Amino acid sequence: MTSINSLSGGHTSSYLAVHHPADVEMFAMVCVDDHNAGRWLKRNKGLLKYANEKLERYIPFYGEFRATAEDPIIIQTMMNLEQKIGREIVWVRGKSFESMIKDQTVLPNQQWRFCTTILKMIPIFEYCYPKYGNEVTMRLGIRYDEFDRAESIDNTFDFPFSCNLYGQNRKNWKTVEWRNVEFPLIENKIWHRTVYDYWQKEGDVIFADDSNCQMCFWKDVQQLRKNFDNERTQPIMYWAAVAEYVRDATFKKEMSMLDASKIGLQQHLNFGVGAEGCKSGWCRS
């Protein structure tokens, strides 16, 4: 049985990697093809080069990496974490965000929550299943105070295993049980405060101010507004605004990204909590 730690680049999954070593440490990168979205990375060529080398080594099919929908500092996070734990981290990716939108014909939103499945879960499955079969123990970074998130996660996955060569060439789908999910942080009753105190003390891994995709529809509008002020994430936010304009739709039902950029920024809010609704890797339509 191969043990795999599923890493997101956040504080909690990084804590998991440090305290619960696995046979494989795995990270799924959400990729964007637009060069403008990667403006900050163009000025930080070392990080861009590192990400390309990682992705080309494990998933060369998609070619050049240009940008990510997350805070690009996540590349530095994974570099730091790999050095800290002393074990190689496997990077995987799927199709780009733009390709996903084109294929689905809609923007991901609270009604159509397909983004995490397509951009994170499928790449992980496609890497693991041919390599390890169903002999996988997958550990997820879910804390004791997030117990409800673990209740909806199962061990199965639906994938197309063949395609008809007649009619409309429809895919034939199969459901497989491909992993055994474990939650070490729940088992050891690790709370948010434990993780927070640990990283405050360590200080050797740089983390994003706000985790997950920067324009995620689960984020509070004030967090979206704040992400326009960060030089690293501002290009991503404007890329998202353009995507909304092109599709004549919005990620978040309350308002567009461009409207969010114009609202007043409230002070003393709890910024940087990520997007809990995303469920960090299992949000499914």
Say if CB 218 and CB 190 are below 8 A apart: no
pLDDT tens digits for 214-234? Answer: 999 999 999 999 999 999 999
pLDDT tens digits for 246-279? Answer: 999 999 999 999 999 999 988 766 655 544 445 4
Q: Please give the structure tokens belonging to residue 255.
A: 């308002």
Rounded mean pLDDT of 25-42? 98
Rounded mean pLDDT of 68-75? 99
CA 159 to chain CA mean position, Å:
20
Q: What pLDDT score was predicted for residue 247?
A: 96
Sheet containing 180-182, strands listed edge to edge, beginning at the edge strand earlier in sequence = 89-93, 24-29, 2-7, 136-140, 180-182
Q: What pLDDT score was predicted for residue 268?
A: 60
Distance CA 99, CA 93 (A): 13
pTM of the model: 0.92
**2-211 fold:** Rossmann fold (3.40.50)
Q: Please give the structure tokens belonging to residue 22.
A: 């696995």
**pLDDT beyond 60 at 280:** no
Domain boundaries, the chain: 2-211
Q: Say what the alpha-carbon torsion angle 144, 112, 32, 102 is, to the nearest 10 degrees.
A: 160
pLDDT tens digits for 90-115? Answer: 999 999 999 999 999 999 999 999 99
Distance CA 180, CA 1 (A): 10
Give φ, ψ of 139 to 5 degrees: -100, 130
Distance CA 44, CA 137 (A): 36
Percent of the chain scoring above 90 in pLDDT: 85
**Maximum CA pair distance of the chain?**
62
Strand ranges (E), 118-210: 136-140, 156-163, 171-177, 180-182
Q: Is residue 37 exposed (0-12), middle (13-18) or buried (19+ Cβ within 10 Å)?
A: buried
Q: How far apart are the first and last CA of the chain?
A: 30
Confidence of residue 282 (pLDDT cuts 50, 70, 90): very low
Strands 2-7 and 180-182, bridge-based pairing: unpaired
pLDDT tens digits for 148-197? Answer: 999 889 999 998 878 887 777 788 888 999 999 999 999 999 999 999 99
H/E segment holding residue 132: helix 122-132
Confidence of residue 86 (pLDDT cuts 50, 70, 90): very high
Distance CA 115, CA 71 (A): 17
Distance CA 272, CA 222 (A): 10
Beta-carbon contacts of 148 under 8 Å, excluding residues fewer than 6 positions away, are none
Beta-carbon contacts of 186 under 8 Å, excluding residues fewer than 6 positions away, are 142, 143, 144, 146, 147, 150
Of 11, 30, 14, the C-alpha closest to 22 is: 14
